[in-house]
Amino acid sequence: MKTFLITGCSKGIGFAIAKHLHNLDYQVIGIARSKSSENFPGILYHADLSNQKETQAIFEEIKQQHHIDGIINNVARVQPKLIAELTIESFYEVMDLNLRPAIQAAKIFLPHMQENNWGRIVNITSRAMLGKIARTSYSAAKAGLTAITRSWSLEFIDSGITVNAVAPGPIATEGLNNNYPPNSPERQQLVSTIPAGRLGEPEEVAYAVAFFLDERAGFVTGQTLFVDGGASVGFVKM
């Protein structure tokens, strides 16, 4: 049984990925700052990944207890701000949480994958990396994670390890529902920018992640799969 580690998985996309992988009979190891509102479908560790030392400690603990075959780097921070309102401190906070834990995880868990000549890394990026108002930090961070994906895919191609990214568009998570309440004008405006005419579901992102993790996807690496209802392609005018 393959064992996959997911960061940021107590709710939303991360939790949907955990449930989907569990249903596919994978062993799921999760890390989240808070407890899940539902029973987590695997083993859930609690840590604040915005703290570098705490991140290192939890990764080391997991390494001692489990053989990790793949990593899904899902933990993220957005903090929308127009450039006039953006502080350097906020910028660094967003860049740090979106990038550093992925690098720490790779340094700790990749040696085991290299020994086995098999491994999977899936980085959860965002359609926002293509540009979005008030997303200077977040867009830059997710674009950086995409660049890391491409670089690592070449670095580990000879080790049987694939590195890919899934880039969601607007997904109906708890966080989005709080910011864009159902039937609100703000939500209607958001949906109007999506060619598919609706928000995505967390399970649709999970399905894309599972594709990259599959044994049969070993010839696919360095790729970014947009799960965004066509938003990365353009707009549809009726």
H helices then E strands: how many in the chain? 7, 7
Instruction: Yes or no: say if 163 and 123 are a contact pair by the CB < 8 Å rule.
Output: yes
pLDDT of 218 = 97
Two structure tokens written together for 7 = 């960061």
234: in domain: no
* CATH number of residue 79's parent domain: 3.40.50.720
Mean predicted lDDT score pLDDT of the chain: 95
Q: For the chain, what percent of residues have pLDDT higher than 70? A: 98
Has 92 been annotated as catalytic?
no
Cα–Cα separations (whole angstroms), residue 45 to 23, 51, 54, 110, 133: 20, 15, 12, 20, 35
Structure pTM? Answer: 0.96
205: in domain: yes
Name 185's Cβ contacts closer than 8 Å, sequence gap at least 6: none
235: in domain: no
- Residue range 97-107, pLDDT digits in tens: 999 999 999 99
Name 85's Cβ contacts closer than 8 Å, sequence gap at least 6: none
Marked catalytic residue, from 26, 45, 138, 207: 138
Pairwise CA distance, residues 204 & 134, whole Å? 26
99: in domain: yes
Cα–Cα separations (whole angstroms), residue 66 to 30, 36, 72: 12, 21, 15
116: in domain: yes
Q: For the chain, what percent of residues have pLDDT higher than 90? A: 91
- 38-52 exposure pattern, b = at least 16 Cβ within 10 A, e = fewer: eebbbebeebebeee
237: in domain: no
- Residue range 39-98, pLDDT digits in tens: 999 999 999 999 999 999 999 999 999 999 999 999 999 999 999 999 999 999 999 999
**Domain range enclosing 33:** 3-171+200-227
- CA quadruple 52, 53, 59, 63: dihedral sign: positive
| 184-211: average pLDDT | 95
What are the DSSP calls for 65-115, one per residue? H----EEEE-------B-TTT--HHHHHHHHHHHHHHHHHHHHHHHHHHHH
190: in domain: no
Two structure tokens written together for 121 = 């890394």
Pairwise CA distance, residues 170 & 174, whole Å? 12
Q: For the chain, what is the domain count?
A: 1
236: in domain: no
